[in-house]
Structure 1
Amino acid sequence: MLTWQSNFPVTSQTSRIIRFGKTVTPVVAFSSSSHIHQRSLRYAVLGAGFAGLSVAWHLLERSATDLRVCVDVLDEIGIGGGASGVAGGLLHPYSPKVKPLWMAAKCWEETLRLLSIAETQNGALNQNSNVFIARRKGILRPVVSLKNMSVMNDNAQNSLASCRIRSINEDAAQSLVPNISVPLDLAFYMPDAVNIHPQGYLEALYLACETLAKEMSSVGPGEKAINFHKRSIGHLLELEGEYDAVIVCLGARSTFLPELSGKLPLRTCRGIIAHLRLPDNTSEEFLEHSPSILSDAWIAIQNPRNLYAGSTWEWKSRNYSQNVSTEEASKALEELIPKASAVYPNISKWAFNGARAGLRAMPPLTSNGSLPLLGQIDDLIGQTHKSKFWLFSGLGSRGLLYHAWLGKLTAQAVISCDEDVIPLELTSWRPKLIRKS
């Protein structure tokens, strides 16, 4: 049951809303007269990356049909303007940092559901055919060390039915990716793993949120709205009283907020990925059926003549710009190409075509693995406020896997105003003095 109501009546919206650099009108403008006595809720979601758009979707999807709900997504850069937009896009549920396996399974299933929703939306609107949402060719991981072998063997023995892991020898690996190097004559193939185009996925997911708001408004008494505002937030308390709940989904940028500075157990890490393409005078291509490659440097295939390779790791960086200088790009290539060549020697034939970067928020390592940070943060901010403040951050390098299910949990907690719907493993990061008794 909802335990709070809107502090401010929602009236017809007159502010301009920016989406993908264009001025648009709101999806739904609440009438100030037709439903004046109907309960309404306003939510602010800070951040338009994996976390923020997952929370926005689930806030709409799980809201009561008789409530008027407005979700405002705020981001100073734009949809996918942070680390999410330049992620590698390699989606699979296996990592020594993801424990327990039941949590990985739930994350995997919910991400596949959101991915399907985004693909359906993209197809329905006939979006740019040159940008794919998901490339379903699997992921191949050559074994390069005994430690690597041990971890992958364990994963293979406990693999999910919906994402199998097959151990194959060098000949079988080369039938998938010609000329691939398999130093220990063993590779692990995940045929059900997916290579997602992050920017295309995020833009399609936001459009799906707009469609959902329209559909829910047409079939229920409570109007639903979602709006994107290209807006910088310098202080959380700027939003005090304007919204019933504010959900901070800013990733590494969460640590820049004065109210949260020095209070979150997050480490920042800037990662650079390189875009490579085959020169026009090169006839050899990456085969259409070939999977992407996961190793010390991952290789995410875009099409037979384009790929992304990543990623570098620059700890304690505070630069969250996607722009990469010529010097940065040169150093990144010096680091990435030798690692990629160790498993895919033919990458030496590919030409550099640009680089982008993202500032990741890396979660702390605990006995339960490296898990994101979720929960209510009113006590971190201090004093008593009309708005409720929540946090969903620390996706690290596994944002694609985590974002959908954890966004669903966050939305459930916000809607019910009950943090207990979130597993304790995800809220135990806070000091005991501010945790719920």
Structure 2
Amino acid sequence: MAMAIGSLSRFCGVDCRLTNPPPFLSFSSSSAASLSHHHPPLRYAVLGAGFAGLSVAWHLLTQVAKDLNVCIDIYDEFGVGGGASGVSGGLLHPYSPKAKLLWRGAECWNESMKLLSVAEAAMGFKETAQLDPEFQGLIVRRRGILRPAVSMKNLTLFNENAQNCLASCRIEKVDEDAAQTLVPNLSLPFNTAFYMPEAVNIHPQRYLQALYLACESLVKESCYSGFGGKELYFHKKSVHKLLDLKGEYQAVIICLGAKADTLPELSGKLPLRMCRGVVAHLQLPDDIGEEYPDHGPSILSDAWLAIQGRRSLYMGSTWDWKSRNSSPNVSTAEASEALKELLPKAYAIYPDLKKWVFAEARAGLRAMPPLTPYGSLPLLGCVNDMVGGNSKCKYWFFGGLGSRGLLYHGWLGKLMAQAVLSCNERLIPSELTSWKNINR
């Protein structure tokens, strides 16, 4: 069966051969002949296979003119979701910690939900079960998010800001009885919590893997459409210098998160602040009978609890500013420090967590953007002036998603693809490109 899938994939311009796969899929591409059309394909390189990179790849494939051939090469040495995106908590909603709708929150929320639907649809492919039986877990847990009020100031702000919530992601004020119906034994210092029933909890790695499968499927479908052909290749390797790619592509889109600063052409030129975050995986022991409620929401507080099931959750996150450590591995000492910091905050809201035990910890290095009058917004735009070299190749940057990559990636990936395909930076809101005017 693997032979048949591989043959079809190469014919369609997708190299699916597995080479040392990580937890799910990791593709190592080899050179393949272009589809037999009259004109060579437009070639684009996407550096990074996290939230930003895969959103850009998907939107490039869907927005390019139907009669054009396009080839997309994705580069990521850690595979799909192998960086900070795959370590994120996966809590998706369009609000600030003060329950205020974030900048362009409606557009970001809607586009992220669209991409989630795309990824969930991709889970239906038979190849999924054949490539990885463990991939049958859910991508999205549509069980809402609960945010307790932990101070009087907190309560006042929530009350005020919740009045301007989106109809598609409501914020409901609930008292202690109603909150404990959702999560038994929940502790509410001010007898009030704010419930977002439509907010979702994503499993980040499963989501990213499914979104890559959706890109593959789209490429395969183009083989039979009679229109222009699409090609997609995954290179499990890093790019050390941008100028090494200058003769190969119409455009290179840099979506490397914190690792973008390691590129010699961009090092020291990006107004990013690095912050390492540790997330702990906790499990309920087998001898404990009282489980987390099957339809119970995740919890947002000074420490968040992203519920993965009745006996499994993730707790986060620490904030180690100025760290340059991008390894997902967490030492025993680092894990111990993280638990010492996070557990008291979580116990204060959910005392039953004391029955749970530590399973493992993982970490990611976030690239945090500068603060603007509109909040901490991601950085987008053309960076040819920083890179230099051959002007025939356009270099674009999409980064600084910080801790809100899941919310921002859908809409901003769409905007970036539109700007790249049209070579027009003005399609990107000025709030996202003004960082280039900062005196570095």
TM (norm. structure 2) is 0.91
Comparing 211-220 with 54-63, greater Cα deviation is found at 211-220
1:223-261 residue CA offsets vs partner (Å, 9 max, x unmatched):
101111101111111111111100000011111111111
Match of 1:159 among 165, 175, 187: 165
The one-letter code matched in structure 2 to 1:75 is D
8 Å contact 2:135–2:206 — kept in the other structure? no
Distance in structure 2 (CA, Å) of the matches to 1:433 and 1:279: 54
- Checking the alignment, whether the CA contact within 8 Å between 1:97 and 1:369 is kept in structure 2 is no
Change (3 A) 1:18 1:99: farther
Contact 2:95/2:101 (<8 A) preserved = no
Aligned-residue sequence identity (percent) comes to: 63
User: What residue in structure 2 maps to residue 122 of structure 1?
Assistant: 123
Task: Tell me the distance in 1 between the aligned counterparts of 2:386 and 2:19.
Answer: 31
Question: Which one of 346, 352, 358 corresponds to residue 364 of structure 2?
Answer: 358
Provide, for residues 384-404 of structure 1, a one-character-per-residue CA deviation record: whole Å limited to 9, x for no partner: 433110000000001100001
Identify the residue that residue 205 of structure 2 maps to in structure 1: 199
Cα pair 1:19 1:229 within 8 Å, conserved: no
Listed as ranges, the gaps of 5+ residues in structure 2 are 1-12
CA gap 1:19/1:121 in 2 versus in 1, 3 angstroms: farther
Distance 1:25 1:427, change over 3 A: closer
- Cα 1:23–1:124 shift into 2, 3 Å: closer
Amino acid at match of 2:78: I
State which of 382, 393, 401 in structure 2 corresponds to 1:387. Answer: 393
**Please, which of 290, 293, 301 is the counterpart of residue 295 of structure 1?**
301
Amino acid at match of 2:248: E
Distance 1:183 1:379 in 2: 53
Equivalent residue pairs, number: 421
Residue 17 of structure 1 deviates from its aligned partner by 7.3
Q: Secondary structure at the match of 2:386?
A: helix
Report if the CA contact (8 A) 1:98-1:104 is conserved.
no
Letter in 2 for 1:52: G
Whether the aligned pair in 2 keeps the contact of 1:94 and 1:155 (CA below 8 Å) is no
Counterpart residue number, 1:80: 81
Pairwise CA distance, 1:83: 0.6
Question: Could you say what secondary structure the match of 1:275 adopts?
Answer: strand
Task: Summarize the Cα distance change of 1:98–1:430 in structure 2 as closer, same or farther, 3 Å threshold.
Answer: farther
TM-score when normalising by structure 1: 0.91
Q: Does 1:68 align with 2:94?
A: no
Contact 1:91 1:400 in 2 (8 A): yes
* Partner SS for 1:332: helix
Partner of 2:106: 105
How much has 1:380 moved relative to structure 2? 1.1
The Cα RMSD (Å) is 2.3
Q: C-alpha separation between the residues in 2 aligned to 1:281 and 1:148?
A: 38
Report the AA paired with residue 295 of structure 2. Answer: H
2:384 is matched with 378
For residues 25 and 320 of structure 1, the distance between their equivalents in structure 2, rounded to whole angstroms, comes to 22
Secondary structure, counterpart of 1:261 in structure 2? coil
Change (3 A) 1:302 1:173: same
State yes or no: 1:139 paired with 2:140. Answer: no
Q: Is the 8 A contact 1:110 1:404 kept in 2?
A: yes
Question: Which residue in 2 is equivalent to 1:59?
Answer: 60
SS in 2 for 1:342: helix
| Deviations 1:26-65, CA, capped at 9 Å, x for gaps | 6995447x32x32521110000000000000000000111
| Corresponding position of 1:428 | 434
- How far does residue 75 in structure 1 lie from its aligned partner after superposition? 0.5
Distance, in Å, in 1 between the alignment partners of 2:102 and 2:222 is 34
Q: Deviations over 1:361-416 (max 9, x none)?
A: 01110001110000000001124433110000000001100001000000000000
1: CA distance between counterparts of 2:346 and 2:14? 51
SS of residue matched to 1:430? helix
Aligned to 2:190: 184
- 8 Å CA contact 1:91, 1:195 repeated in 2: yes
Taking structure 1 as reference, are residues 376 and 330 closer, same or farther at Cα in structure 2, changes over 3 Å only? same
- Distance, in Å, in 2 between the alignment partners of 1:201 and 1:189 is 24
User: Separation in 2 of the partners of 1:46 and 1:79?
Assistant: 11
Alignment of 1:12-91 (within 5 A): 18=19, 20-21=21-22, 29-31=32-34, 34-35=36-37, 37-91=38-92
Paired residue for 2:410? Answer: 404
